Structure 1
Amino acid sequence: MVDWLRRAPQPAPQWQDDACEALRHWCAQGEAMLAALPPRAAWGEPQRLLVRQVREAVAEARAAQVAAHGETLYRLLTKDYTEALRVDALLALAAARFPGLLPTPAQLAADAELSLHDKLGHELSLGLVLAQWLGQQQVGRHLMAAMRLPLPRAQELLPVYQAGQLLDLGLVQLQRQGRQGQLTLCNPRCLNAEDEELVQAMELAVDIVLLDEGSEVGLLRGGFMAHEKYRGRRVFCSGVNLSKLYAGQLPFLFYVVRELGLVSKLHRGLWGGGSPWADAPDLGLEKPWLAAVDTHAIGGGCQLLLVCDHVIAEETAFLSLPARSEGFIPGIANLRLPQYVGRRLANRLIYSNHKVAADSVEGRLLVDEVVAAAEMDAAIERGVASMVDLGSHGIVSNRKAFRHATEPLEQFRSYLATFCREQARCMYGTEIIRNLEQFWMRRKPA
């Protein structure tokens, strides 16, 4: 092990087409060490430690190549910045074109079949490599712009939406009502917990609303639940699906795609052209969003409120961001939450699983209106009418000015680089399993 670590390949001063061959060979030697281990059921802490050491060393070596030659690689993959690749497509192409730079599709597929506890952690390389790319200004800004382009299906479904028909996107329903686009989360048995299917459907729905010239305002609301405890009640969002996370059914890229795709489009709109490397003018195609919080907004649900322009909550609702107690980073909340509540309260929310009642002094820092449950529909109607009647263009102009002052693109890009690295390390660290078992799996009904 020590000798193998000592032989880790170092990046050459100049990129050459065969530069990854030595890296590929060295990574294969590391895999051979792991293949020589006894069956996984017989692993103890020494074997798991060896797996972590090999996986971390491989990920760091790959990241070092991108740190040294990231822009050259990205230019080759995007044909000198002329092609816009989403994160997953970029990584898949990089793995195929530069063997050794990233895990193989077979390695990722094998890990995807395992529980989080049993994964070999190949995705750690994805996080560390992405962190290096996002940390490079030219590359990071181009990738951020690519992720804000509308999904291909959005243009296909736009005429159906414009005709006023209900679009059933699986776990999301979308319909235009007058000049508003109503996006309803419909994952009734899981309390609108987020997984790949829900987030993909939400991003598609957001694209459609943003593309439609007749929609001036978007509305986010949770649908009615089938879960025994909340049957017949609306729930806004319960954050990441922790059962799927524990079972290993949420890939690392779920977190990255969510922030660069869905959440960025809510916050900054669709990419509007111009130079991806210019902070101004901001040409994004965006619209104001209203969020209606029934019952609770937990984790990712609370994060969504930070990028909405008006939030209405029922008086018994609560808000929380328990990601730290679960063992990972709550998206971009660490950047945005202190703007609303201050650093000290943000610490309690993120570090200590502090819950905030919507109808409280603390809660009023995160929501604009609190009404009785029976008054939610009327309050939403008033809120949408206010946005539309006064003109949504003024809101959009002001939200751009707010962003320029509080979250310029360079700050966002730098945060994303840190997020990718640290979130990947959280996902394949030792704390997350223990925390999930302590705070979630033990209390989950059989």
Structure 2
Amino acid sequence: MNVVDASDAASVWSIPEPKFIDVLDSDAQTLAEHVATCEAVLDTLPPRPGRDTSQQRLAEAAFAASRSARRGFLALHTDAVYDVLTEGRSRYVRLPNLVQAAAERFPGLVPTPAQMASERVFIQAERDGREIDQAIFCGAVLRSRVVGTHLIDAMLMPTPRAEQLLGDFRATGRVELKSVHIERRGHVAHVTFRNAHCLNAEDNQLIADMETAVDLVLLEDRVSVGVLRGGEVEHPRYQGRRVFSAGINLKDLRSGAISFVDFLMGRELGYIHKMSRGLLTEPAGVMASDRFTQKSWIGAVDSFAIGGGMQLLLVLDRVIAEEEAFFSLPAAEEGIVPGLGNLRLTRLTGARFARQVILGGRRIRMTDPEAALVCDDIVPAKDLDETVERAARELGAPAVAANRRMLNLAEEPLDHFREYLAEFAVTQAARAYSADVLSKVEKRWQRSQSRA
């Protein structure tokens, strides 16, 4: 490989800005050629860990040039690109498949699978952040009311994995996934997190398993209520105790095992949104009540709900916690955006208190008066099961489903959700590769290694 030295660092600045003419095929070719030129510069450089300061500046300039071109192209052609990839919106394509199809059909628009694979051999801090380029595409699609809404519908449909497992679930009332267990008891489906090795923290596997579990609950006609609860964990401090969730697995984030498409976007467009808005089972239906299958959800919180665990509680119909538990959204400490917590917490607690939690890192203990803003029932640990059973009976009443649907429509209109998520996509991807986040994650990992 020919390594570029500092004297060549200005060469990328001579790459002319692409001139788009608002004709899809012509502009797609222009984009492909421009990005190929930027990639040719990157090909002369060593991988990021081996670059000197001048080489890194050159790489950053090349990425900036290609990203600017992508934004310009998408500003003109987002809807047309989406229509090509979905055959005029006649097919519902899930986000991971949509991104892959975009890489194949429109070279340079998003990274290729080979480019993504080449990044995965490095930890997060040693990557160039090609997921940011995926985020530019996702954000553009979601900003469009027409195609963004279609993508949201695609992500609200049952997953093929759930459809394959549905027969077994109906026959046995149980499904064991790698990190989640589902069990039907009467009209209630109990979904238990089983990521015992990491305090039920969220990782790529848990997100995939949770979407499958939520689909199964929503597809099973005999179920009217779902209950989420953390299983027992292995951590010495909580050995043998249940824990709801420790949020995002920061070790996986440090290693680069947290996927932008599958995790950061997949959880918001997938299982969490399905619990809130319902499962899209009749795409051709006219009214939301005809198109979506919805059910009530209860969260039973043992020990704590941190980060993504607390975010999850914000879409549930009933939250029940043991009196020693606490909730938190440690966004300021981690440096990333707490999912849709910024959108949803404010309407529950008011703006001032939400800022204390999200910007100031305030924990909500069940002994705090403010706990009533985010939790319905606070009980001794020994009474948690009985309280959950009583809530499940109440939420299984026939009129509940219709009323929860109307409440959710009023609280979070689809366009409001879509517009927020469009900005979240770009912001979260940038934060995941920012220097302060990477530094904090590295320090946490080093502390955990020293304790081990």
Letter in 2 for 1:155: E
C-alpha displacement of 1:279 = 8.4
* Residue aligning to 1:231: 239
* Superposition deviation, residue 180 in structure 1: 0.5
Q: Which amino acid aligns with 2:318?
A: H
SS in 1 for 2:18: coil
* 1:422 to 2:427 alignment: yes
TM superposition shift of 1:162: 1.9
2:3 paired residue number = none
Does the Cα contact within 8 Å between 1:193 and 1:238 map onto a contact in 2?
A: yes
Paired residues in the alignment total 441
Give the conservation status (yes or no) of the 8 Å contact 2:247–2:306: yes
Name the structure 2 match of 1:385.
393
> Aligned with 1:182: secondary structure?
strand
Measure how far apart 1:343 and its partner are.
1.0
Which deviates more, 293-302 or 369-378?
369-378
Q: CA deviation at 1:153?
A: 2.0
Aligned to 1:71: 79
Correspondence 1:246-257 to 2 at 5 A = 246-253=254-261, 254-257=263-266
- Counterpart of 1:273 in structure 2 is 282
Which residue among 293, 297, 313 is the counterpart of 2:301? 293
Contact 1:55/1:124 (<8 A) preserved: no
- Equivalent residue, structure 1, for 2:344: 336
SS of 1:149's partner is coil
Aligned partners of 2:307, 2:293: CA distance in 1, in Å?
27
Structure 2 stretches lacking a partner, 5+ long: 1-8
Whole-Å Cα distance in 1 between the matches of residues 24 and 250 of structure 2? Answer: 42
CA distance in structure 2 between the partners assigned to 1:174 and 1:433 by the alignment: 35
Whichever residue aligns with residue 429 of structure 1, its letter is S
| Other-structure match for 2:411 | 406
Aligned partners of 1:387, 1:224: CA distance in 2, in Å?
26
- What residue in structure 2 maps to residue 327 of structure 1? 335
Residues 1:168 and 2:176 aligned together: yes
Counterpart Cα distance in 1 of 2:173 and 2:293 = 23
1:156 counterpart = 2:161: no
Residue 353 of structure 1 and its aligned partner are, at CA, apart by 1.7
Over 3 Å counting, the alpha-carbon distance change for 1:417 and 1:247 in structure 2 is same
Tell me how far 1:280 sits from its aligned partner: 5.6
Quick check: 1:146 aligned with 2:154?
Answer: yes
SS at match of 2:124: coil
- Aligned mates of 1:202, 1:294 — CA distance in 2: 18
- 2:4 corresponding residue in structure 1: none
The residue number in structure 1 matching 2:19 is 10
Question: Counterparts of 2:65 and 2:362 in 1: how far apart (Å)?
Answer: 36
- The one-letter code matched in structure 2 to 1:347 is R
Once the two structures are superposed, residues 32-75 of structure 1 have per-residue CA deviations (whole angstroms, 9 ceiling, x without a partner) of 32333356444344444443333233223213212211111111
1:62-114 per-position Cα deviation (integer Å, ceiling 9, x unaligned)? 13212211111111110111100000000101101111111111110111221
> How far apart, CA to CA, are the structure 1 residues paired with 2:55 and 2:370?
47
Are the equivalent residues in 1 in contact too, given 2:254–2:445 (CA < 8 A)?
no
Q: Are residues 1:263 and 2:263 paired? A: no
Q: CA deviation at 1:372?
A: 0.9
**Structure 1 range deviating more: 75-84 or 33-42:** 33-42
Q: Give the SS at the match of 1:117.
A: helix
Q: Distance in 1 between matches of 2:22 and 2:289?
A: 37
- Does 2:145 correspond to 1:137? yes
The amino acid across from 1:229 in the alignment is R
Structure 1 residue runs of 5 or longer lacking an equivalent are: none
- Match of 2:279, SS state, is coil
Is residue 432 from structure 1 mapped to residue 437 from structure 2 by the alignment? yes
The 3-state SS of whatever aligns with 1:442 is helix
Aligned partners of 1:300 and 1:95: how far apart in 2?
A: 30
User: Contact 2:135/2:429 (CA < 8 Å) preserved in 1?
Assistant: yes
2:357 aligns with: 349
What TM-score results when the alignment is normalised by the length of structure 2? 0.93
The residue type paired with residue 437 of structure 1 is: E
Give 1:405 shift: 1.9
Report the alpha carbon displacement of residue 407 of structure 1 after superposing the two structures with TM.
1.1
8 Å contact kept, 2:38–2:65: no
Q: Take 1:281 and 1:201, find their aligned partners in 2: how far apart are those partners?
A: 26
1:87 corresponding residue in structure 2: 95
Contact 2:48 2:128 in 1 (8 A): no
Answer whether contact 1:63 1:125 (CA < 8 A) is retained: no
